[in-house]
Amino acid sequence: MKKLLLGFAVLFSISASAQNLKTPAPSTTQTIKQDFALSSIEINYSRPSMKGRDIFGGLVPYGDKWRTGANGPTTFTFGQDVTVGGKAIKAGTYSVITVPGKSSWEVMLCTEGTSVPNFKEETVVAKFQANSINLPFDVETFTIMVSNVTNNSADIDILWANKMATIAVSADIDSDIMSQIDNVMNKDNKPYYAAASYYFENGKDINKTVEWAKKAADAQPEAYWVKHLLAKANAKAGNKAAAIAAAKASMELAQKGGNMDYVRLNEALLKTLK
């Protein structure tokens, strides 16, 4: 009996040790969140590795539906309405299923929870083509990243082995921001600098840009970055003397503040105004 009990104890100990064993996941998960437009893009996916295998045309056959990663469905979450691959997409979370090809991929954004095994055509919210290129090197671990981010556009790049497929994303934010500006500029506490910056960067009314930049500079006389915006706005408006004066004032304030980046920016601007 004692031997029997001892045997059970040993087996229990081995079993408990096995249950406590922790090893790395074969395909690690990753979540990335990129601020974009007025909200964000979030991507959740698992990351298989090549491990010496032929990937596209081998492990991932051309022309077949692919879960675009490993384990559960890869998902894209858009915090606002966007255009993806030329298709209008409402804010929300979508499962991503792709059909890799040699020069382009078919991409399907499907209702959340859709996977290759349970795929039905009615789950497809949008279907479009994404360009694919050959890379001059191998990417060992499957990677999705957001690149080329601007105020209203970005690329979602899918990389593995020697392939990269790129999905274009854009958002129409101008009408929203212009509406916000119209609203806040009718209030007492007016954000002159933010409004002037948006107008300048997006080619809006240059005279109003100069007006607001001047009011922002008057309200923050020591702010070299505001003076620099005023200098750029005046230069764009053709007010050369005012631009030179603002650039020199900005450069002097930047030197006092120890910000050599703005010193160099103003030096470069002044060279264009000679």
Domain coordinates in residue numbering, the chain: 25-170, 174-272
The pLDDT, as a whole number, for residue 22 is: 87
The pLDDT, as a whole number, for residue 23 is: 86
Q: Is the pLDDT of residue 13 over 80?
A: no
Which whole-number Å values give the CA distances from 154 to 35, 41, 58, 157, 165, in the listed order? 10, 10, 30, 10, 14
The phi and psi torsions of 203 (rounded to 5 degrees) equal 65, 35
Contact 165, 142 (CB under 8 A): no
> Tell me, what DSSP letter sits at residue 60?
B
pLDDT interval class at 20 (50, 70, 90): confident
Residue 211 class from Cβ within 10 Å (0-12 exposed, 13-18 middle, 19+ buried)?
middle
Tens-digit pLDDT profile for residues 2-12: 555 555 555 55
pLDDT interval class at 19 (50, 70, 90): low
Provide the 3-class DSSP secondary structure of residue 95: strand
Question: What integer is the mean pLDDT of 210-227?
Answer: 98
Pairwise CA distance, residues 46 & 245, whole Å: 55
Domain 174-272 in this protein, CATH class = mainly alpha
Question: What integer is the mean pLDDT of 5-34?
Answer: 72
Tens-digit pLDDT profile for residues 56-70: 999 999 999 999 999
Pairwise CA distance, residues 239 & 152, whole Å: 30
The pLDDT, as a whole number, for residue 26 is: 85
What is the reported pTM? 0.81
